[in-house]
Amino acid sequence: MPLSTQSQADIDQYILIASLDNARNLSNILKAISFRDHAIFNATQNGLKVTVEDSKCLQANAFIQADIFQEYIIKEDAVGFQVNLTVLLDCLTIFGGSTVPGVCTALRMCYNGYGYPLTLFLEEGGVVTVCKINTQESEEPIDFDFCSTNVTNKVILQSDSLKEAFSELDMTSEVLQITMSPSHPYFRLSTFGNSGNAHYDYPKDSDMMELFQCTKIQTNRYKMSLLKPSTKALALSCKVSVRTDSRGFLSLQYLVRNDDGQICFVEYYCCPDEEVEEE
């Protein structure tokens, strides 16, 4: 492969190198969080964490573990930068993002440190394209202070059941109301749209429910406009964990399998909508 012909001197200059035989394994997971132009990249020995935020109310994180990559070299404890996600996705799919079996775009992603661009070497069918994307100093992501010790309720669902719910609920509603309870209705999604109120209930012993841990009755509302970006991750996922903490903050963690069957995670944090009065 032409990418492998890069000289050792070329490789040595970078503080971060991440290579994939199939660039779709990165582009698909990044599409799941692409609702704003800019993304914060944080690389550690464990892998890449990519963060996108919206007005301090919504945060999405994509986690790509180091062992997903065929080559992953990091020469510092942590490497961080900010990059235009829209441009990055355009570059990753520069060969058209082919889904033809056996035809893959190989990727080597390199970063030289503060002030340098993110360099992508993309190869398909012997043709190599080099893209250099300007980077900025990374901002500190918002700390939603969502920790497992404060989680009051948690359910794990098969994603198909949540997709079905979203297809049946009224998306003209400004909010999605989530009720979690140790007793009936257990786990309920509610909307209040143009066609009236709608509820979608999940019994705790449903085949679609893999885990049900609820310690108290909790009803919170979330702006639908904030939750809609997470449907991109839902479409790619096979399971979703829904958690709420004592403040009503929502965590949606999606388990996503890539083209090679490896597992990545996408997590959305959303703050509750406190302006809506109870019905």
Q: What is the pLDDT of residues 21-68, one digit of tens each?
A: 999 999 999 999 999 999 999 999 999 999 999 878 899 999 999 999
Using an 8 Å Cβ cutoff, are 113 and 18 in contact? no
Q: pLDDT tens across 120-137, in order?
A: 999 998 889 999 999 998
pTM: 0.89
Whole-angstrom distance, CA of residue 276 vs CA of residue 173: 12
Neighbouring residues of 207: CB distance < 8 A, sequence distance ≥ 6: none
Q: What is the mean pLDDT of the chain?
A: 88
Give me 178's structure tokens: 């989530």
Per mean pLDDT, which of 3-7, 211-215, 257-261 is the most reliable?
211-215
Task: Please tell me the distance from the alpha carbon of residue 221 to that of residue 14, in angstroms, as a whole number.
Answer: 46
Domains and CATH numbers, the chain: 8-136 (3.70.10.10), 151-270 (3.70.10.10)
User: For 186, which DSSP code?
Assistant: B
CA 51 to chain centre: 8
Q: Please tell me what DSSP assigns to residue 113.
A: S
| Distance between first and last Cα of the chain | 62
Element (H, E) at 221: strand 218-223
In angstroms, the CA 139 to CA 149 distance is 27
